[in-house]
Structure 1
Amino acid sequence: METATQEQQPPAKDGTIERYELMGGKCYIYKRSNDSKHWQVAAYVSGRNHRASTKLEGFSAAKQFAEEWYLELRGKHIRGELGKLVPVNAEKTFKDAAEQFLREFPVLTEGQRSPIYTAGHQRRLRNYLVPFFGDKPLSQVTSGAIAEYRIDRIEKSKEKRGKPPARGTVHQEMVALRQTLKTAMRHDWLASLPDMSQPYRSNGKISHRAWFSPTEYRQLYLAAAKRADDPKKERYRYHGQELYDFIIFMANTGLRPDEAKRLEYRDVTVVKDRETDERILEIEVRGKRGVGYCKSMPSAVMPFFRLRKRNKAQPTDRIFPNDQHVLFNNILEEENLKFDREGQRRTAYSLRHTYICLRLMEGADIYQVAKNCRTSVEMIEKFYASHIKNQLSAAAINVKRVPRNEENKVAPQSPPPPKPAAPKNRLRPTGKNYTRRKPH
């Protein structure tokens, strides 16, 4: 066994009993105080300490091993194979990022985001995301870890409820996760966002929004009118009348349900339109896009008058103060209209979709419909106009092309039309040789 030629040093503060610097102090070898026979090597490279065991007892052999190990470590650092690593005990965890996000989000979005939306993110983080990712360092929240979360979420939901969570539910949880990781990036706790897309996902078909065809819409409002005139119980008469007016009003204005809920009588003005010479409603709409304007169909005027007279309303009263979804769903189920042919569920929002589709079927300008509904032409073309047969022009589709052999043929020249005969001169001829005949 080889022995060290250097003078033995007292035990260091880190528990070593022998420690010798090599490569000009850039690395060193040492023995631990637990009577280990093997030499250890350590160096500080790329922002952190690296350690390894030489598994050698001789000093000279351990020294040669340490020098080669250090040079290899430096080469990896130069090639960028090590990167700048942060010690695990100094790295922030997902729980730290979640707490920072929950502290910032309500304050920075006050007045811009609904309190219900903010509370939803808080609930998703505390109930699902933090229990799963909790103590993991942020660098370990990778695409694979997110895929594991999706699997765990589906399996636990099936065990508890017998079915997986809805697609929208998981999507909102991914939104909360992304916002939390973005918060970590703003504070330099995370270098970049992982890939959060759902693996193995196929391209879903674009399906149109649930709506009522003209036949189905007529069936719906006739059923509502019958319920208003002949309720099952007399105390439900007012609610039946209000629902009937709600259906007619919504299908002739194209308002969103939340916009109709905020609507007050002072926001609606009855005017006579100059272009159509009909009475319509001009509505100041307050919704998710701020304040907008809407011009209704003439059929929306009478429901508005009935609502105002029935409720003896003040200007600041709401037009639809009561929630209509229970009675509305009952009528849909009774009339077998709850689901459309594609299996999509119909709600009060379907009345807005019905308005847009009926306007397009009547040939209305798509840009004007989009402005009146406070949406974009792109959204209408994607979710509404794609299934409206009236948007297709048969004359533009059924074009017949002339065959090439007939294109090159020269049309036969027809004979020139005969010249018209010269008109007879009806004037009496004159001349010296002219003698007038005597009448018979």
Structure 2
Amino acid sequence: MAARHKILGGKVHLYKREDGRFWQCAATVNGKQYRESTGKDELAQAEDVAENWYYELRGMFKRGELVKPTEVEKTFAEVTELFLREFAALTEGQRRVGYVKRKEWIARRHLLPFMGDKPISQVNSGLIQEYRLWRVETTKEKLGRPPARGTVIQEIVVIRQVLKTALRRQWIAGLPDLSQPYQMNGKISHRAWFSPDEYRALYTFTQKWAKNPPIARCASQYVQLHDLILFMANTGIRPDEAARLQYRDVSVVEDDRSGETILEIECRGKRGYGPCKSTANAVPVFRRLQKRNQPSPTDLIFPKLPREQFNTALAQLNLKHDREGRVRTFYSLRHTYISFRLLEGAHLLQLAWNCRTSVDMIEKHYAAHIKTRLDASAINMRRGATNASGRPGLVAANDDSGDGAEEAA
């Protein structure tokens, strides 16, 4: 070699081959040596090119885009298979089987066809944004509409979990930015529920079915459907909790504070174990189930949720969608329970405890649309000369204590 030179404290070597015109540069990053031509024959210019090249190599290493020479970089598909195996094994008994299967379905149905062959280090923010665009375009082409926002969020969650699996094994240097660009504040809407009139129409209709089933061989399913609707609307339990509920989980008790006979329920489902107290209207439903089925303590109260009959009833009553177009399901009976309790002035914290959710969730998705929670006397206040205590302050609009001296707020 004709010449050799070092820069950046010896981290980068510049040299010229005997028959070469341009300066070459070499550096070691993450245990691997990299070489590149600077394309410059002047040393000063070659130093600038080599310095920029070295810092770019360091940046690629920090982003997880460089691997050691002895390693064969894992693909996204390989890391996904490892994640699915780990997730199924480590969450057994803690997560519902359907929840785990959903992760696998998302990965195999959507993620692997798009990015399965990509090296894991190349699954970056740009590729994930391309995936979002691909999902919108392909879904529009097939269904004429984009995928639901919540659906895409679930898919991004799986991508994050796969990348975390790679991060734990140091196959990548860090997680890319997975946030949604161009994101606007979403409108918070209430959950699909049944108004008092709609709920009355529904249980009246299913009561007629229970007495005169449209299909004789399915008589027991129609009876079960009617009791399930009444039970869920008077307890607020989730559909998966109803599906797991055994007779031994329910007790008929006298409530000391209200003086009513109610049900105390041990719920097991989405949030693990949690207690629940029903309204008094759930008691005759439970006793009717006991009398009809003559169960053992470990028998399921609702062995099968009759979704087909429920959807048929909603369709015949034109109640499958609410006025905003939201689809009603068995979950809507839980939403109905919460909304009815709010209409009757229930305490938010107590209601949240009873429904195994948070006050924030109830405030956002239920209480916002309950008009009876608005106190007109508190809203329609005017700033007057005096208030009830005789001091300057706010007085009600119809309060004469201001002696006609009220001012506009």
Q: Give 1:239 shift.
A: 1.9
Per-residue CA distance 1:353-372 (angstroms, 9 max, x = gap): 11111111111211111111
SS in 2 for 1:284: strand
The size of the alignment, in residue pairs, is 376
Does the 8 Å CA contact 1:40/1:51 hold for their aligned counterparts? no
SS in 2 for 1:200: coil
| Distance in 1 (alpha carbons) for counterparts of 2:36 and 2:89 | 46
2:14 aligned with 1:27, yes or no? yes
Alignment-derived partner of residue 126 in structure 2: 144
Alignment-derived partner of residue 265 in structure 2: 283
- Mark the CA change 1:241 to 1:118 in structure 2 (over 3 Å): closer, same or farther: closer
Larger Rg: 1
Structure 2 unpaired stretches of 5+: 393-401, 404-409
1:342 to 283, 304, 324: 324
- Mark the CA change 1:365 to 1:151 in structure 2 (over 3 Å): closer, same or farther: same
Per-residue CA distance 1:223-272 (angstroms, 9 max, x = gap): 11111122223323322221111111111111111111111111111112
2:241 aligned with 1:259, yes or no? yes
2:53 aligned with 1:71, yes or no? no
State the TM-score, normalizing by the size of structure 1: 0.78
Does the 8 Å CA contact 1:46/1:83 hold for their aligned counterparts? no
Alignment-derived partner of residue 51 in structure 1: 36
Does the 8 Å CA contact 2:276/2:355 hold for their aligned counterparts? yes
2:58 aligned with 1:83, yes or no? yes
Q: Give 1:161 shift.
A: 4.1
CA RMSD, 1 decimal: 2.8
Does the 8 Å CA contact 1:44/1:50 hold for their aligned counterparts? yes
2:275 aligned with 1:293, yes or no? yes
1:158 to 128, 137, 140: 140
Deviates most, 336-345 or 99-108: 99-108
- Mark the CA change 1:321 to 1:54 in structure 2 (over 3 Å): closer, same or farther: closer
Alignment-derived partner of residue 108 in structure 2: 126
- Mark the CA change 1:95 to 1:235 in structure 2 (over 3 Å): closer, same or farther: closer
Alignment-derived partner of residue 218 in structure 2: 236
Alignment-derived partner of residue 362 in structure 1: 344
Task: Output the amino acid matched with 1:326.
Answer: E
Structure 1 unpaired stretches of 5+: 1-18, 32-36, 56-61, 413-440
- Mark the CA change 1:43 to 1:165 in structure 2 (over 3 Å): closer, same or farther: same
Q: What percent identity do the matched residue pairs reach?
A: 51
Per-residue CA distance 1:316-351 (angstroms, 9 max, x = gap): 111111221111111111111111111111111111
Alignment-derived partner of residue 416 in structure 1: none
2:357 aligned with 1:375, yes or no? yes
Task: Output the amino acid matched with 1:50.
Answer: R
Task: Output the amino acid matched with 1:283.
Answer: I
Task: Output the amino acid matched with 2:58.
Answer: G
Alignment-derived partner of residue 303 in structure 1: 285
SS in 1 for 2:109: helix
Deviates most, 335-344 or 197-206: 197-206
Does the 8 Å CA contact 1:46/1:82 hold for their aligned counterparts? no
| Distance in 1 (alpha carbons) for counterparts of 2:210 and 2:338 | 26
Alignment-derived partner of residue 375 in structure 2: 393
State the TM-score, normalizing by the size of structure 2: 0.83
SS in 2 for 1:340: coil
Task: Output the amino acid matched with 1:315.
Answer: P
SS in 2 for 1:291: strand
Does the 8 Å CA contact 1:45/1:74 hold for their aligned counterparts? no
2:160 to 174, 178, 183: 178
